[in-house]
Amino acid sequence: MKLLVTGGAGYIGSHTVRELVSAGHEVIVLDNLVYGHREALIDDGVQLYEGDLGDQDFVRQIFTEHAIEAVIHFAAYAYVGESVHEPLKYYQNNLAAPLNLLTVMKEYDCKRFIFSSTCATYGVPATIPISENESQEPINPYGQSKLMLEQVLKDCDAAWGLKSVFLRYFNASGASLDGKIGEAHDPETHLIPRVLMAIRGEIPQVDVFGTDYDTPDGTCIRDYIHVIDLADAHLRALDFLQREQVSDYFNLGTGHGISVKAILEAAEKVSGKTVPVVYGDRREGDPPRLIADASKAKEKLGWVAKHSDVDQILQTAWNWDGNFGK
């Protein structure tokens, strides 16, 4: 298929682009490169349109020049803490800008959409593991902006038959198996890259946010899912849309929780080094436990996590040294 991937130069986007290309799809990437990296697009034949989703004429130009059959939409801001202090930035970029894309898709009768949603749409869940039936009550503007776009997509389905798959990611992690691309956020706030940066001496230490949670070792539990497994889910979602021609939504996680302390131990194991760590206070807005019930994705997409063992996540993240295309 001929696909438009927005945010294709970002972390999850760039890994997905590689999987799409190796499956034989033709990929056009739209990315403003604010957080994405040109160097993350390492496959021949991937065409990059550098620009902003907020510019409707720019988006239209892509659809004029290419017969786009489906859109995979990654482009978004994803710093939860920043979203609390700068909500308009998040509603502008994650909600308003994609309306331009949808407007142009409607014009060009393009009716397949895969959307990067998030477990942050569930807020603080009442039940663990979290199924897709959990009520969606986000506790920050980031999660709210994603949930609002989910609603827009449902309305577009009802009005003009846009078929969407929402993929609600849990904690994306790891790097490509060949070490050529990986996670490269600036600033980097995520646990695993920060732990590895501390081991490499790039930051003085990693702060553990809270040791008094109601969990077995007192630290927060998350469901870490390898970025290659996430990429694979997008290919399956594409097949699903072609096959079933209905909208649907899926949690993407492993169903297993890993504590912050367990991540530190796994990092020490793969690196053979000690993590410089400071145990500190809780970070505002962190739910104690987020674990997916991903059985629906298994049943309907045939998707299961294959690379998300904690050791493989840490090993691939450790092999990736931030040097694109080496």
Nearest to ligand UDP of 112, 222 (CB atom) = 222
Reference 234, options 136, 113, 317; nearest CA is 113
- 142 labelled catalytic: yes
Residue 170 CB, shortest distance to ligand UDP, in Å, is 8
Which residues 191-230 are close enough to bind ligand UDP by CB under 6 A?
A: 191, 194, 206-209, 220, 222
Residue among 103, 127, 189, 323 that touches ligand UDP (CB under 6 A): 189
Residue 189 CB, shortest distance to ligand UDP, in Å, is 5
Which residues 273-292 are close enough to bind ligand UDP by CB under 6 A?
A: 283, 286
Residue 241 CB, shortest distance to ligand UDP, in Å, is 27
Nearest to ligand UDP of 108, 209 (CB atom) = 209
Q: Is the peptide bond before 98 cis (omega within 30 degrees of 0)?
A: no
Contact 173, 192 (CB under 8 A): yes
Nearest to ligand UDP of 79, 108 (CB atom) = 79
User: How many residues sit in the footprint of ligand UDP (CB under 6 A)?
Assistant: 14
DSSP per residue, 249-276: EEEES-S--EEHHHHHHHHHHHHSS---
Residue showing the smallest CB distance to ligand UDP in the complex: 220
Which residues 229-248 are close enough to bind ligand UDP by CB under 6 A?
A: none
Rounded CA-CA distance 76/97 in Å is 9
Reference 37, options 231, 326, 323, 314; nearest CA is 323
Q: What is the 3-state secondary structure (H, E, C) of 177-208?
A: CCCCCCCCCCCCCCHHHHHHHHHHCCCCCEEE
Nearest to ligand UDP of 230, 235 (CB atom) = 230
DSSP per residue, 86-140: -HHHHIIIIIIHHHHHHHHHHHTT--EEEEEEEGGGG-S-SSSSBPTTS----SS
Residue 69 CB coordination number (10 Å): 16
Residue 127 CB coordination number (10 Å): 11
Nearest to ligand UDP of 206, 238 (CB atom) = 206
- Single out the catalytic residue among 142, 169, 213, 249: 142
Residue 99 CB, shortest distance to ligand UDP, in Å, is 26
Residue among 14, 121, 171, 316 that touches ligand UDP (CB under 6 A): 171
Contact 29, 17 (CB under 8 A): yes
Residue 219 CB, shortest distance to ligand UDP, in Å, is 7
The residues assigned a catalytic role are: 142
| Residues near ligand UDP (CB under 6 A) | 171, 189-191, 194, 206-209, 220, 222, 260, 283, 286
